[in-house]
Amino acid sequence: MHPRESGRFRDETVQKDPDDILRDDRAYVWHPFTWMPRYLAREALVITGAEGIYLIAADGRPFMDGTASMWLNVHGHNRPEIREAIVAQLDRFAHVSVFGQTHAPAAELARRLVEVTAAGLNHVFYSDDGATAVEVALKLAFQHAQIRGETNRTKFLALRHAYHGDTLGAVSVGDIEHFHHAFRPLLFECIHAPSPGCAHCELGRDMTYCEIACLDELEKIMARQAAHLCAFVVEPIVQGAAGMLVAKEGYLRGARDLCTRHGVPMIADEVFTGFGRTGRMFACEHEDVSPDILCLAKGLTGGTIPLAATLTTDRIYEAFLGDDPARCTFFHGHSYTANPLACAAALASLDVFEKDDTLAHVQALEKMIASDAERFRKLPHASGVRFKGLVFAFDVVADEAPLKPYDASERMGQKVCDAAMTRGLLIRPLGDTVYLVPPLVTTEAQLRQMLDIVHDAVREVTG
């Protein structure tokens, strides 16, 4: 049913006048990742409702949520099972601390997360966002080395074009020049290994013949640096913010083996790839990899309330059980850690995965994308068509052979997204990379519609 006809939106009469909302917004709200003069020069979209895969604008127009509201939403907006779990917890209490005490949603969710993640990850440290999940992972890895007396281990190894969030630790291991350059003087030392994303291969290999050359580079770095590394940080299978770069098959398994051989803990940042996005519950499962530390956020609550978790092994946890509290306490914690409403939402979301058979659904959608990819490859201004699970991306380019990007000032990626918006699909570009990352609950018919819109938008904008 069309969302406007379902009658589940709040009564229009109790909603604020969109003009009042816009006036307050323009006067007071400073938007993230936004150059405000450009934002203020446009009429911003005011969202007044959300249902399933649709966002409803103040003027009543429905838009398909092609980015799952910043890569978060899993089971659709306003999913009744999750809503009811939050409301039921709200009837008990909204928030109490887990500093030195506990509550049922935190304890039960920790058990469920240990059950659903790779074998070996047995301990859960909660925080609030993807960046904090990563921050926790970095500090844990560092302090773990310190406790073990390996005081030379002070550096991190990460991937080129990595994105791990916006707090300073996460920015230190990140490598997106455009986002990170302003903060360079504040950052700690991190070595970057070549990205395994074939679409933008920096080693200039042809993916058909390549035998994972980036893994050889990783091995060289590890051989030289292992004794100085507290961890290798990786976004498994898909590097999201880098441009939805899909790694060469075998890279992750190879990287895990190198970490094991060189005694370097592996931190898998599944903030984006976790909870079904790639067609498995966690991307590490594609290559049967168990990391030493796993970062989860975004889809953890189905995309409803901020919550993050950092999981780790007995080995790392037990190092912190030593008898010197000054050395063996992990001094980290956020005031809203393990918020009970968020934990309740996460538990309900895990149940919906089973009820909907979400993973099988995503695998079917991936097959659909695979059979449609050729249509995009044939577009003269689309290059590097790539997909995994319910992630689909390509780059809009001035020329395909030889590859020539558009001048950044043309903002072609943004223009394609603007053209999609007039057709009822909300997407945001990453530079000139155009991508679809809709809620996992998206039906085949809806996905077909999204792909058609994107195809039409590229043709319109590139002439």
Binding site for ligand PLP (CB under 6 A): 129-131, 134, 163-165, 235, 240-241, 269, 271-272, 297-298
Cis omega (within 30 of 0) for bond into 185: no
Give the DSSP H/E element, type plus range, for residue 395: strand 391-399
Given strand 425-426, what is the order of strands in its sheet? Answer: 47-51, 54-57, 62-65, 425-426
Q: How far is the CB of 297 from ligand PLP (least distance, A)?
A: 5
Q: Which is nearer to ligand PLP, 73 or 446 (CB)?
A: 73
User: What is the rounded distance in angstroms from the CA atom of residue 328 to the CA atom of residue 326?
Assistant: 6
Q: Which is nearer to ligand PLP, 244 or 382 (CB)?
A: 244
Q: How far is the CB of 298 from ligand PLP (least distance, A)?
A: 6
**Are residues 82 and 94 in contact, defined by beta-carbon separation less than 8 angstroms?**
no
Q: How far is the CB of 93 from ligand PLP (least distance, A)?
A: 25
Tokens of 136: 């926790």
Give the DSSP H/E element, type plus range, for residue 104: helix 104-116
Q: Which is nearer to ligand PLP, 245 or 412 (CB)?
A: 245
Give the DSSP H/E element, type plus range, for residue 457: helix 444-462
The SS3 assignment for 192 reads strand
94-124 burial, b if ≥16 CB within 10 A, otherwise e? eeeebeeeebebbeebbebbbeebbeebebb
Q: Which is nearer to ligand PLP, 240 or 429 (CB)?
A: 240
Q: How far is the CB of 235 from ligand PLP (least distance, A)?
A: 5
What amino acid occupies position 24?
A: D
User: What is the rounded distance in angstroms from the CA atom of residue 101 to the CA atom of residue 376?
Assistant: 54
Q: Which is nearer to ligand PLP, 169 or 340 (CB)?
A: 169
User: What is the rounded distance in angstroms from the CA atom of residue 70 to the CA atom of residue 62?
Assistant: 18
Q: How far is the CB of 357 from ligand PLP (least distance, A)?
A: 25
Q: Which is nearer to ligand PLP, 144 or 164 (CB)?
A: 164
The SS3 assignment for 332 reads coil
Q: How far is the CB of 164 from ligand PLP (least distance, A)?
A: 5
Q: How far is the CB of 8 from ligand PLP (least distance, A)?
A: 28
Q: Which is nearer to ligand PLP, 145 or 242 (CB)?
A: 242
Q: Which is nearer to ligand PLP, 28 or 33 (CB)?
A: 33
Give the dihedral of Cα atoms 2, 54, 30, 134; nearest 10 deg.
160
Q: Which is nearer to ligand PLP, 176 or 397 (CB)?
A: 176
Runs of H (alpha helix) within 325-438: 325-328, 340-356, 358-377, 412-422
Q: How far is the CB of 173 from ligand PLP (least distance, A)?
A: 10
Q: Which is nearer to ligand PLP, 237 or 425 (CB)?
A: 237
Q: How far is the CB of 217 from ligand PLP (least distance, A)?
A: 21
Number of helices (H) and strands (E) in the chain: give both, helices first: 16, 17
Q: How far is the CB of 430 from ligand PLP (least distance, A)?
A: 11
Residue with smallest beta-carbon separation from ligand PLP: 130
User: What is the rounded distance in angstroms from the CA atom of residue 248 to the CA atom of residue 215?
Assistant: 10
